[in-house]
Amino acid sequence: MAMTIGRWARHNLFASPSSSLLSLVSIPLTLYVAIFAARWVLFTAHWSVVVDNLAVLLVGTFPGDQIWRALVAGAGLSALFGMTLGLVLIAKRWKRYVVIAAALAVAAAVSYGMQLQWLAGAFGCLSIALVACAATSRWPQIGRGMGLLWLLGVGALCALLVPAGVDRWGGLLLSVLVTVIATLLSLPVGILLAFGRNSRFSSLRLACSGYIELMRSVPLVCTVYWSWIIIPLVFPPDIHIPDLARGVAGFVLFYAAYAAEYVRAGIQSVPRGQSEAAQSLGFSKLDESFIVVLPQALKAVIPALVGNVLDLFNNVPALFIIGLTDFLKAGQTVLANPQYSSSQYEVYVFLFAAYLAIGSLISYGARRIELKMSEGAR
Amino acid sequence: MKPDELSDCIGSSDVSGEGTVSQVKLSSTESRSFGRPPSPASQSELKRRRLARTRAAAIQTLILAGIVAAVLAFLGMVWAGLRRHGIGFSLDFLEQPAGFNLSEGLTIAKSPHGLSLVPFNSQQTYAQALFAGFYNTLVVTLISIVLATVVGVIVGVGRMSRNWIVKTWAWAFVELIRNTPLLIQLIFWYFAVLLQLPSLADASLLHGALIASRQGVFIPWLVATPAFSRYAWFAGLAVAVFAIGVLLRTPGRRRAAFATGAGILVLGLAFAGRPFSIDMPQASAFSVAGGAGFSPEMASLIIALGVNFAAYVAEVVRGAVQSIDKGQWEAAAALGLAHRESLWVVVLPQAVRVILPSLGNLYVTVAKSTSFAIAIGFPDMFSVYGTVANQTGRALEGIIIVMVVYTLISLSISAIANLYNRHVMKKGAR
């Protein structure tokens, strides 16, 4: 049944008098906004401020001679992200991803030829991500042990980056790294807390729920600052702990409580028959929890946990409180330079666009997982 | 943050109180009744059970001892660390004069007639400075919550509109807000919007009713007229009648009581005169007289929080409306109600019960998110704490105080939401 434009408009824009009135007001307004935005983006804005400072925005004050480490880390993270995304995307489209990846690789080569190294690096990373994405959507068995791969991969990348100086990490790289590290560390703590909160022993239950409720009622900024203060007091004086680790500890403490609540919801969603079946098979309490209940519980709350990752990524800018230069702070550092202070809209729009792109990708992934799982349940 | 989703899937442990939690209790009692029948157990069975009980008690004690030991060890390490750095732990600094000024905020001070709220000045103590920050946090939280709720319900209804453009705008708003950090929104509002407004001399919108300038935002406000004290008698009487109306059980009598109260208010207008007059802000070159003013910091914080959480409220509203059974829409349509009437009269009132627990969680998050104010220099509790910690070096003591106060704020918002939720549930159950 072909839908003509006229019929579509009658149904969706002029269905009733009030709807028509709304359309008559909103269509010109939308056109005005669209034209204004397009003119600004294409003609008025001076994007040179972003291009000139791409290095600061992407990696902060990373030492110049060590930059290859950042590039390798970026490529590795892109590959990991791509692989994960490939698992939830539509498998049939993998050829399309390869084509786009090839185009991006060409773009990377061209921009490298034009001496725009950072643009080349960004295109290259995107291309790698898409190739990885295509690979796992074509052959899902590659992504079997994705969690372990993440753990090992991020560990290796951190080991690669540490020689450049932990205090020099910054920009988008820092934002992504903090998100990934805090997620990977907070999830196991959260799982333990969730089981503690469901425990048979009231003392453990009380302690775990007390911790979770406390963490959920203080702001993240407070937790990060508190952990930043307290960690040097707790450790012996001859151990130097970088600011980053002190801040990430706060993120882990904070998000473990949230992860625990999600996991607990998952545990509650596992039918009682499952644990009863495990008991009747003679499983120990520990095996019952970790072999029977946990995998099902985690599977049920994966979309919520991915949403939690988005939340974490969106809250990484709170690291400014301990003086670290994450993506947002890097943008502000650029604007602090009097030379660039007149072009703040360009920088903010670029930051918004980058955050929106990554955030939308994460929430799209969460939605796809949810869809895929509801298909599987049918 | 997405407490809405959290509460969606958990039924929220602290806010809802009703939904999932009671179900959980139900199922646990159920399982108990289905458990081993209370048959006369054999001697060995009794012995085995006693042994199990003893073992459980021993494990309990061990766990408790472990937790206490861990906490004590942690405190001991912190104490040793403090000693090593030559800092003690004391709250004496709270009594010392602060010596710094805050751009805004009221604090508690002793005055000839008891305690009163006065603007903070540098002669007052650190404790009073922290209280001024607390006051600012509360003010911003309350206004942002109201703003977020109003805008959020409008956007949420917009997302369900049948008009494609309105729907798309609402969708784009929600996606843009939810997929970008709150902090960049806050910084954008402050540096790229509020501070770029025209200066006071040539700033005015809506024929002078609203002054939006880089020195602040000013709106009309109500001020008491001389007739106010006379009118207060009528108002008091009306409040009493309203209170009686709330207590009355029969809807007819209640309606009559409310009508009487409204009548008294109108009579008061006739006899006593207008109690309030609208005070328009009047701008001169450097200052504004009249109206109510918000500093650019406060205005951008309120706008950023209000707009950000409006997107979350919108999603909560949409989710709740979608959770209402389709049959309700169809029944409304069968009764001849239009789409909009079905939404506002039939579906939304039912959705409120689903919305409330999530909203309570969101409000807690709003209160917590005010702590980002330090990024734009608004003196909320956390940023006042930052200054205090810088001056006194009492970082640890201060952060503990601040965290305790935030916990209290969060708990009280949860408690209020819980109470209200219970109230609504009770009403719905009738």
pLDDT tens digits, B277-286? 777 777 766 6
Could you tell me if B402 lies within 8 Å of chain A, comparing CB atoms? yes
Domain limits for position B319: 130-220+280-429
Q: Name the domain count of chain B.
A: 2
CA distances in angstroms from A294 to A87, A88, A255, A301, B26, listed in the order given: 21, 21, 19, 11, 23
Same structural domain for residues B252 and B292?
no
Q: To the nearest 10°, the Cα dihedral for B397, B399, B404, B410?
A: 170
* Optimal mutation site among A11, A202, A222, interface B, most CBs of chain B within 10 A: A222
Q: In terms of CA atoms, which chain B residue is nearest residue A310? A: B179
Same structural domain for residues B269 and B292?
no
Measured N-to-C along each axis, helices B348-369 and B395-429 cross at an angle, to the nearest 10 degrees, of 170
Say what the pTM is.
Answer: 0.85
Measured N-to-C along each axis, helices B164-178 and A17-39 cross at an angle, to the nearest 10 degrees, of 50
Query: Among A29-43, A120-134, A342-356, where is mean pLDDT lowest?
Result: A120-134
Query: Among A71-80, A267-276, A311-320, B78-87, where is mean pLDDT lowest?
Result: B78-87
Q: Which chain A positions have a beta carbon within 8 Å of B406's beta carbon? A: 217-219, 222
On the 0-12 / 13-18 / 19+ scale of CB atoms within 10 A, B429 is exposed
- Maximum mean pLDDT: which of A235-239, B256-260, B378-382: B378-382
Same structural domain for residues B271 and B284?
no
The pLDDT, as a whole number, for residue B273 is 74
Same structural domain for residues B216 and B243?
no
* Total residues found in chain B within this entry: 430
Could you tell me if A317 lies within 8 Å of chain B, comparing CB atoms? yes
Which of B251, B279, B307 terminates a domain? The answer is B279
Extended strands (E) in B76-207: 106-111, 114-119
Which of B264, B279, B294 terminates a domain? The answer is B279
Same structural domain for residues B425 and B288?
yes
CA distance B407 to B427: 30
Same structural domain for residues B199 and B336?
yes
Judge whether residue B142 has pLDDT over 90.
yes
Taking the CA atoms of chain B, what radius of gyration do you get in angstroms?
28
In this structure, the strands spanning B216-219 and B221-224 are unpaired
Give helix then strand counts, H and E, for chain B: 14, 9
- Which one has a higher pLDDT value, B37 or A48? A48
The pLDDT, as a whole number, for residue B18 is 40
Q: Which chain B positions have a beta carbon within 8 Å of A12's beta carbon? A: 162-164
Same structural domain for residues B313 and B391?
yes
Task: Among A214, A265, A360, select the one facing B175 at the smallest CB separation.
Answer: A360
Domain residue ranges of chain A, discontinuous segments joined by +: 58-164, 170-378
CA distance B360 to B355: 9
Distance from CA of A139 to the nearest CA of B (A): 30
CATH number at residue B396: 1.10.3720.10
Cβ contacts of B230 within 8 Å, gap of 6 or more: B271, B272, B273
Judge whether residue B373 has pLDDT over 90.
yes
On the 0-12 / 13-18 / 19+ scale of CB atoms within 10 A, A263 is buried
Classified as helix, coil or strand, B110 is strand
Q: In terms of CA atoms, which chain A residue is nearest residue B1? A: A311
Which residue reads 């009355």 in tokens?
A: B248
Which of B403-413 are b and which e, b meaning 16 or more Cβ less than 10 Å from the residue's Cβ?
bebbbebbeeb
Same structural domain for residues B297 and B325?
yes
pLDDT tens digits, A289-310? 888 999 889 888 888 899 999 9
The pLDDT, as a whole number, for residue A255 is 96
On the 0-12 / 13-18 / 19+ scale of CB atoms within 10 A, B224 is middle
Query: Among B17-21, B141-145, B254-258, B348-352, where is mean pLDDT lowest?
Result: B17-21
Could you tell me if B207 lies within 8 Å of chain A, comparing CB atoms? no
Report chain A's mean pLDDT, rounded to a whole number.
88
Q: Inter-chain contact A230–B164, Cβ cutoff 8 Å?
A: no
Same structural domain for residues B257 and B390?
no
Distance from CA of A343 to the nearest CA of B (A): 10
HSE, CB side, 13 Å, CA atoms: give it for residue A357.
Answer: 7
Q: Give the DSSP H/E element, type plus range, for residue B279.
A: strand B276-279
The pLDDT, as a whole number, for residue B422 is 81
Report chain B's mean pLDDT, rounded to a whole number.
82
Could you tell me if B81 lies within 8 Å of chain A, comparing CB atoms? yes
Same structural domain for residues B136 and B180?
yes
List A residues 241-270 in contact with B (Cβ-Cβ < 8 A): 258, 261-262, 264-265, 268
May I ask the CATH architecture of the domain A170-378? Orthogonal Bundle (1.10)
Average pLDDT over residues B402-413: 94
pLDDT tens digits, B109-137? 887 777 888 888 888 889 999 999 999 99
Task: Among B163, B179, B403, select the one facing A222 at the smallest CB separation.
Answer: B403
Establish if B146 belongs to a structural domain. yes
The pLDDT, as a whole number, for residue A220 is 95
CB A58 within 8 A of CB A176: no
Judge whether residue B364 has pLDDT over 70.
yes
Which of B279, B294, B317 terminates a domain? The answer is B279
Average pLDDT over residues A137-162: 84
Q: Which chain A positions have a beta carbon within 8 Å of B162's beta carbon? A: 12, 15-16, 19
CB B89 within 8 A of CB B119: no
Same structural domain for residues B210 and B322?
yes
Same structural domain for residues B181 and B305?
yes
CB contacts < 8 A, A to B, total 180
CB A133 within 8 A of CB A82: yes
Q: Give the DSSP H/E element, type plus range, for residue A336.
A: helix A327-336
pLDDT tens digits, A346-363? 999 999 999 999 999 899
Judge whether residue B68 has pLDDT over 70.
yes
Establish if B425 belongs to a structural domain. yes
List A residues 290-309 in contact with B (Cβ-Cβ < 8 A): 301, 304, 307-308
- Maximum mean pLDDT: which of A313-317, B260-264, B390-394: A313-317
Q: Give the DSSP H/E element, type plus range, for residue B276.
A: strand B276-279
